[in-house]
Amino acid sequence: MPVYSEKVMEHFMNPRNVGEIENPDGVGEVGNPVCGDMMTFYIKVKDNRLEDIKFKTFGCGAAIAVSSMVSEMAKGKTLDEAMKITPRAVADELKGLPKQKFHCSNLGAQALNKAIKDYLDKKKGGGKK
């Protein structure tokens, strides 16, 4: 049984920013079929900043804690700043993750990056109708 830090437990028991955003500016979904974790991030962007961020995660306690932490770390940041959130930074903010759960921090960062990329792709393609 993995041992989790108090910070991981806190974010697992009381996750922040859970849910969906209606008409999000970007959506990023990632999954790991090996462990069954699925994460979806929804973002609202205003003036190149993440004005709002929500997530839905189906997975283990670490996956939920990671999603919650990533959403907190990213909220209010510029898109560039948010893209620089690394799995290591997430794990450090959570005061460490058990080695067998470190892949969860990869998923969180990937889902956020995908949501931002989705937003940027839509923005690029949006003006050419």
* Active site residue ranges: 35, 104
Tokens of 95: 């005061």
Q: What is the 3-state secondary structure (H, E, C) of the chain?
A: CCCCCHHHHHHHHCCCCECCCCCCCEEEEEEECCCCEEEEEEEEEECCEEEEEEEEEECCHHHHHHHHHHHHHHCCCEHHHHHCCCHHHHHHHCCCCCHHHHHHHHHHHHHHHHHHHHHHHHHHHHCCC
- 56: how many CB neighbours lie within 10 A of its CB? 14
